[in-house]
Amino acid sequence: MSQYADNSRVKQKTIVDLQQMKLAGQKISSLTAYDASFAILLDQAGVDVLLVGDSLGMVVQGQASTLPVTMQDMIYHTRVVSRGCQQAFIIADLPFMSCAIAMQAAENAAQLIQQGGAHMVKLEGAKTAIIEFMVQQGIPVCAHLGLLPQLINQSGKYAVQGKEEKAAARVLADAIKIEQAGAQMLIVECIPAALAQQISEQLTIPVIGIGAGVHCDGQVLVVYDMLGISQGRKPRFTKNYMLQADSIAGAVQAYVTEVKEQIFPAQEHSF
């Protein structure tokens, strides 16, 4: 069991707990989860946040991108993850074209919460009007800036975002607007570490990074990437923790420890 997991008094984490961790300077650990068995293992290792990501389209379904993932897929996987979770906070992705307009987004978010057991939903992009509407309905929202996998057919490739001064200023401005719209968490993906640090320092909500440097309030990885079992080219920002562990549980515990102690991500995992 991880030194960061206290299962003697199991208490489900809330967004308030995560906000207090940011205020206290305690790093937030997060991994993706897609089924009950992994959810139990990650939960027992003390992972703070389980993200049921639409990345399941690629790592579970074998799709070329996240775009084919449906709402029914997301509800199913969120439901089975929630069955295996006792202490971690659960965030579920709104998949491609499930949040194009405010009412649609709210109705689909409600399904992920009511049927799936999610504590919060995540949507890609600076959709401030939609975020504001969902928050008004009592839906906790996590936003996502930087690299946006659902826009792959527009961008044509997965690439670092916010490298140029103008682009960085736009990402920072979007982050501020997202917080003002009522989002309670932000994930930043594949942006320069200096920009991610600036965003984390300026926002009062927790900022979780993936390929965004060590100075975010927490880190998230695709669990299959950090276990070295994803197929194809490995992202620069990930690390195979199975190389230093004798079990999956040991690898997860090492990841949690390195996030908490700001060992991961190192410079070689950052942009």
As annotated, the active-site residues are 189
Name residue 34's amino acid: Y
How far is the C-alpha of 49 from the C-alpha of 267, rounded, in Å?
24
Helix spans in the chain (H): 15-24, 36-44, 56-59, 71-83, 102-114, 128-136, 152-155, 165-181, 193-202, 223-226, 248-260
CA distance 126 to 262: 28
104 near 98, Cβ under 8 Å? yes
Cα distance between residue 33 and residue 52, in whole Å: 5
Q: What's the CA gap between 103 and 86, in Å, rounded?
A: 31
